[in-house]
Amino acid sequence: MSTLQEHLDAFDALRDDSAASYRWQATHRGGDHAFHVVVSCLVHGNEVGSLPGINRVLTALRSGELSYGGTFTVVIANPEAGLADRRFLEQDLNRMFGNLDGDAHECRRAAELAPILATAEVYLDLHQTILATEEPFTIFPWHADCWKWARVLNAASACVTRPANQGFALGGQICADEYVRDLGKPGFTLELSQKGFSQEAEDLAFKAVCNLLAAADRIARGTTTLDDEAGQCPELVFWQTDHRESFVDPAMCLRDGLVNFTPVQAGEVLSAPGTPVFTAPLTGRLLFPKYPERDASGAAIAPIPSEISRVITQVPEHPETAWV
Ligand SMILES: [Zn+2]
């Protein structure tokens, strides 16, 4: 399998955009309409799996195998962290879009990316999970247009959502997709698979972006509407966080083998033998289980995450009617 450097070199050869404001930006201009689709990858540097799929999209656009009449921009957001095999170098880039004046590498990068994101009609941010996931999923606070575009991708049936007024990060820490939503445009995240290169991640990224471009083209040409496009794709299955298990004691430890979307039953023990006992308070799936590094005594090493895992459950009613 190729290395990240080889995929970055391939991107460089495809980007053909000397006028770009940002070093790791590729822009396709179809010339027929102004609808601007923006896709990002490597916002978390070591979530590299989408890049080969992105290069396939750019190759297909160049050869004419794929067409798009509007403007399509791809950015590789944090290749420096990717090459260091890290999530970020100084600060989490996906929290820096409210901090565009800072000096950290990721603050400066957010300031470079923000003007590009600000011109998106729709924005898709391609991520991967730290641990494995039983299935890919989209994630965004409830937003009707994000729901419709997430359906249009036809790449993940699971959607992790929450009522629109519940923030994800702390105050002032703005995610890339949140930055776009705050400007009144749909922006959302697709979690493809566990971080790293895989055929699964490449194929899913390629499929999602191809479907996004095809639908955006038809909508911009006026031959269809977003409602019609979404209605032709399968409905999503909506999940919401029902329980957050706080990481109150460094000795807390999940039992082995838990990943994203692992089914759990109410009362099931989630802790490892010989560590403080905690159970799933309700039946659902696990999300973002964490296995931090530990010292010789078994205590998690700082910085300890605020949560050791979440339990998500299916939203009982369609969010479009329940939350609006
Ligand atoms: Zn990520």
For the segment 238-260, the average pLDDT, to the nearest whole number, is 96
Residue range 24-34, pLDDT digits in tens: 999 999 999 99
Domains of the chain: 4-235 (3.40.630.10), 242-324 (2.40.50)
Strands 237-246 and 263-264: unpaired
Segment (H or E) for 260: none
- 316, 240 in Cβ contact below 8 A? no
Ligand 1 mean position, distance from CA 177 (Å) = 12
**Which DSSP letter does residue 141 get?**
S
Ligand 1 mean position, distance from CA 69 (Å) = 30
Ligand 1 mean position, distance from CA 127 (Å) = 5
- 63, 29 in Cβ contact below 8 A? no
Contacts 24+ apart (CB under 8 A), 57-62: 57/206, 57/209, 57/210, 57/213, 58/11, 58/14, 58/15, 58/26, 58/28, 59/14, 60/210, 61/28, 62/14, 62/16
Strands 122-129 and 36-41: parallel
Ligand 1 mean position, distance from CA 277 (Å) = 29
Per-residue pLDDT, 169: 53
Residue range 79-90, pLDDT digits in tens: 999 999 999 999
Q: What confidence category does residue 261 fall into, taking pLDDT thresholds of 50, 70 and 90?
A: very high
Ligand 1 mean position, distance from CA 43 (Å) = 7
Residue range 34-50, pLDDT digits in tens: 999 999 999 999 999 99
Residue range 218-231, pLDDT digits in tens: 999 999 999 999 99
Q: What is the mean pLDDT of the chain?
A: 95
Residue range 89-130, pLDDT digits in tens: 999 999 999 989 999 999 999 999 999 999 999 999 999 999
Ligand 1 mean position, distance from CA 154 (Å) = 20
Ligand 1 mean position, distance from CA 192 (Å) = 10
Ligand 1 mean position, distance from CA 190 (Å) = 9
Ligand 1 mean position, distance from CA 268 (Å) = 28
Ligand 1 mean position, distance from CA 290 (Å) = 14
Ligand 1 mean position, distance from CA 169 (Å) = 13
As beta bridge partners, residue 294 has 300
Q: Rounded to whole angstroms, how far apart are CA atoms 33 and 28?
A: 12
Ligand 1 mean position, distance from CA 274 (Å) = 32
- 252, 294 in Cβ contact below 8 A? no
- 15, 26 in Cβ contact below 8 A? yes
For residue 114, what are the CA distances in angstroms to 180, 230, 274?
Answer: 9, 28, 48
- 115, 192 in Cβ contact below 8 A? no
Ligand 1 mean position, distance from CA 297 (Å) = 30
Ligand 1 mean position, distance from CA 267 (Å) = 30
Per-residue pLDDT, 170: 58
Per-residue pLDDT, 1: 62
Per-residue pLDDT, 278: 97
Lowest mean pLDDT among 42-56, 153-167, 203-217, 240-254: 153-167
Q: Is 60 exceeded by the pLDDT of residue 179? A: yes
Per-residue pLDDT, 166: 64
Ligand 1 mean position, distance from CA 286 (Å) = 17
Q: 86: which residues sit within 8 A by CB, 6+ positions away?
A: 45, 46
Within 186-241, residue ranges assigned H as helices are 199-220, 226-231
Task: Look at the pTM and tell me if it is higher than 0.85.
Answer: yes
Ligand 1 mean position, distance from CA 33 (Å) = 31
Ligand 1 mean position, distance from CA 189 (Å) = 9
Per-residue pLDDT, 167: 57
Q: Rounded to whole angstroms, how far apart are CA atoms 243 and 284?
A: 10
